[in-house]
Structure 1
Amino acid sequence: MIRVLLVDDQDLLRRGLSRLLELEPDIEVVGEAASGAAALDVLATVVADVALVDARMPGMSGVELITHLAARFPHVNALLLTTFDEDEFVFGSLRAGARGFLLKDASPETLVAAIRTAARGGTVIDGQVSARVMARLDAGPPEPGPSAPSALSAREEEVARLVATGASNQEIARTLFLTEGTVKNHVSAALRKLGLRDRTQLALAFARRP
């Protein structure tokens, strides 16, 4: 069962999301919060696998909350709920440690799939926004070329491309007939060579490569 925490200052949106997710047999809403501070209080009493976090909230923004989650509740995979014109929030959330971002007008099927992807440790990248965010990731080149001094090996690039699809280490290992430990080593090597911070940035870097 995937345990989900809903964090949004709009009561109507939280109720709608809760009713939608109640229809899924493998998803359970374990808590709701109208602010970042309230979300941290809820997580002191319940266990969640995924947190859907609104970008704009009074008192504590979604990015600030995700920073706290990464430090205090690292097992909670956060997804930022945003609108198309909130690049700053998307960019900040990825830096803070979010698993990805999702537009608020996403379809129910997309939302459910994103929650399942985040729960298994995958990366969620909304195609409409990813290109704009990639251009602003200053931690490393968004499209590393094979001629660069820090070029990835063929296997590392293969793993990186699968990371960009949202696949978890376990799924990549199964696809490439490797151990999870080997996949983890390839991901770490790719991050180091490209000067990237985490697998979300790696996924963004490879998401639109041919």
Structure 2
Amino acid sequence: MTVSVLIADDQAMVRAGFSMVINSQSDMEVVAEASDGVEAVALSRKLMPDVVLMDIRMPKQDGLTATKILSESAAAPRIVVVTTYDTDEYVYEALRNGATGFLLKDSGPNLLLEAIRAAADGQSLVSPSVTVRLLEHVTQSKRRTADWEKAGLTERELDVAEKVARGRTNGEIAADLFLALSTVKTHLESIRTKLGVRNRVEIAAWAWEHGLVGGDR
């Protein structure tokens, strides 16, 4: 199955660069490009892409507003915010508005492609450089529940959760633990189910709260 992607960014050079990277893959293709939020919403509703790469600062309508509008629609695409700006306010609002992932434009082509595949697969990916900063906010918000303490993760799932907390991508986790990429995805899905969390940011928060990163295990 080919993953259809819509790119929304007000810079033509950025759109061209993303398109070249995406269209070089056999399992995905760019179906449209938008230069502002209004156009992104209209094209998404018309073409129904699997994944939308959404910039934040765009004319007519910003990407955060466009993300909220699309996420509230019946057939919402998976949205990955890709931006130069990584301020906490932008990150939190993007995730609150329904974004599946949050990447910085300098994250590199490999992480971009992994984020697209993760989004299409119903998973979440947040840029590792952003993830660690988010942890303090998430852990201080006291979202921890008694169920997390009774999660019953296996030893290998604890290993994977620790790697997520350290900002590792799925590919890096697979290499670090000598696992197949598909096995890592299976472990992540199991962890999300057992912890009752939505994405890898909350998995990372759980790992930090329970001492997996600090070496208390």
Q: TM-score, normalised by structure 1?
A: 0.74
How far residue 15 of structure 1 moved from its aligned partner, in angstroms, is 1.5
Structure 2 SS opposite 1:105: helix
Q: What residue identity is the alignment partner of 2:59?
A: P
Matches within 5 A, 1:120-131: 120-131=121-132
| Aligned partners of 2:8 and 2:53 also within 8 Å | yes
Shift of 1:141: 3.2
* Percent of paired sites with the same residue: 30
Give unpaired runs (5+ residues) of structure 1. none
Query: Larger % of helix: which?
Result: 2
Task: Tell me by how many angstroms 1:156 deviates.
Answer: 9.0
For residues 18-57 of structure 1, what are the structure 2 equivalents within 5 Å?
Answer: 18-57=19-58
Contact 1:122 / 1:163 at 8 angstroms: preserved in 2? Answer: no
1:17 and 1:175, CA in 2 relative to 1: closer, same or farther beyond 3 A? Answer: closer
- Identify the residue that residue 150 of structure 2 maps to in structure 1: 152
> Against the structure 1 CA distance between its residues 59 and 109, is the aligned structure 2 distance closer, same or farther, given a 3 Å change threshold?
same
Asked whether the equivalents of residues 162 and 172 of structure 1 are also in contact (C-alpha less than 8 Å), the reply is no
Paired positions, count = 191
Q: 1:139 Cα shift?
A: 8.6
Amino acid at match of 1:153: A
Q: For 2:151, give the aligned amino acid.
A: S
For 1:90, the aligned partner's letter is V
Paired residue type of 2:161: R
* 1:103-142 alignment runs, 5 A limit: 103-137=104-138, 140-141=141-142
Q: Where does 1:1-210 land on structure 2 (aligned, <5 Å)?
A: 1-72=2-73, 74-83=75-84, 85-137=86-138, 140-141=141-142, 144=144, 149-150=146-147, 151-155=149-153, 158=157, 161=161, 164=164, 175=186, 183=190, 187=192, 190-191=195-196, 198-199=198-199, 201-206=201-206, 209-210=212-213
Name the Cα RMSD after superposition. 3.3
From the superposition, tell whether residues 37 and 2 of structure 1 become closer, same or farther in structure 2 (CA, over 3 Å). Answer: same
Equivalent residue letter for 1:91: Y
Relative to structure 1, the CA distance from residue 59 to residue 84 in structure 2 (aligned partners, 3 Å threshold; closer, same or farther) is closer
